[in-house]
């Protein structure tokens, strides 16, 4: 009886792929885009293009996932050089004093179906740490066709109040609420020999 159970368990594991691994985020396929309302007239966007981090993820146990991300605040890009310069100064991000932002997950919950998760984590920006909730979509998990490595891809969205992080200049004319959109993919790197 025990041998039959062990055989059945081994067959079940062999039949379903398990992708429990630490994924290193690919900076060339990772973007964090944020937007705000400007005096009611427009909704500009900006992005951070230099993001590094890891994701511990097991498709069989998604609520045990862990995310650890660092954002280079100097990679801010609005496509308007004067605005980039202004946002990096002391009345906004104060990049000289706070060159990095970080996000570390604290809780992962199931979403509306197997492809969705709710990830809560501590976001540190401008020297202030506050909890932020991201609604995450699992895009794809499997072997990357070009890199020939296990890969995982995700999109996430959420919102926050910039005044919570000491970034309240020009509120309410420039909206306090910031919307976030993130896309990323990562691969499992080969173990060092």
Catalogue the E-assigned strands of the chain.
21-25, 31-35, 45-48, 51-57, 66-72, 76-77, 100-110, 116-125, 128-143, 150-161, 177-187
Residue ranges of the chain whose pLDDT lies below 70: 1-19, 191-193
Distance CA 59, CA 190 (A): 20
Average pLDDT, the chain: 90
What's residue 6's pLDDT? 41
Q: Is residue 163 part of a domain?
A: yes
Considering only CA atoms, which of 45, 48, 22, 49 is closest in space to residue 34? 45
183 in a structural domain: yes
Confidence (pLDDT) at 4:
44
Residue 16: the pLDDT is 38
| Residue 65 domain flag | yes
Q: Are the beta carbons of 18 and 149 closer than 8 angstroms?
A: no
> pTM of the predicted model, to two decimals?
0.86
pLDDT tens-digit profile of 73-107? 999 999 999 999 999 999 899 999 999 999 999 99
Owning domain of residue 42: 18-187
pLDDT of residue 191: 52
pLDDT at position 11, please? 39
Number of domains the chain is built from: 1
Residue 29's domain is classified under what CATH number? Answer: 2.40.128.110
CA distance 59 to 65: 9
The burial of 30, by beta-carbon neighbours within 10 Å (0-12 exposed, 13-18 middle, 19 or more buried), is given as: buried
Which pLDDT score, from 0 to 100, does residue 189 have? 86
């Amino acid at each position: 009886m025990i041998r039959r159970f062990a055989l059945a368990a081994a067959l079940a594991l062999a039949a379903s792929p398990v992708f429990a691994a630490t994924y290193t985020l690919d900076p060339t396929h990772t973007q964090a885009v944020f937007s705000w309302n400007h005096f009611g007239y427009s909704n500009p966007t900006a992005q951070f293009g230099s993001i590094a981090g890891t994701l511990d993820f097991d498709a069989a146990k998604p609520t045990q996932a862990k995310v650890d991300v660092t954002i280079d605040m100097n990679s801010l890009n609005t496509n308007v050089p004067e605005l980039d310069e202004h946002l990096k100064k002391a009345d906004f991000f104060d990049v000289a004093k706070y060159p990095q932002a970080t996000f570390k997950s604290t809780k992962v919950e199931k979403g509306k179906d197997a492809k969705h998760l709710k990830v809560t984590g501590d976001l540190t920006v401008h020297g202030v740490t506050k909890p932020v909730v991201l609604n995450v979509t699992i895009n794809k998990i499997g072997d990357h066709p070009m890199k020939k490595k296990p890969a995982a891809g995700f999109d996430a969205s959420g919102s926050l109040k910039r005044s919570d992080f000491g970034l309240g200049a020009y509120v309410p004319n420039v909206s306090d609420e910031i919307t976030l959109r993130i896309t990323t993919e990562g691969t499992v790197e080969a173990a060092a020999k």
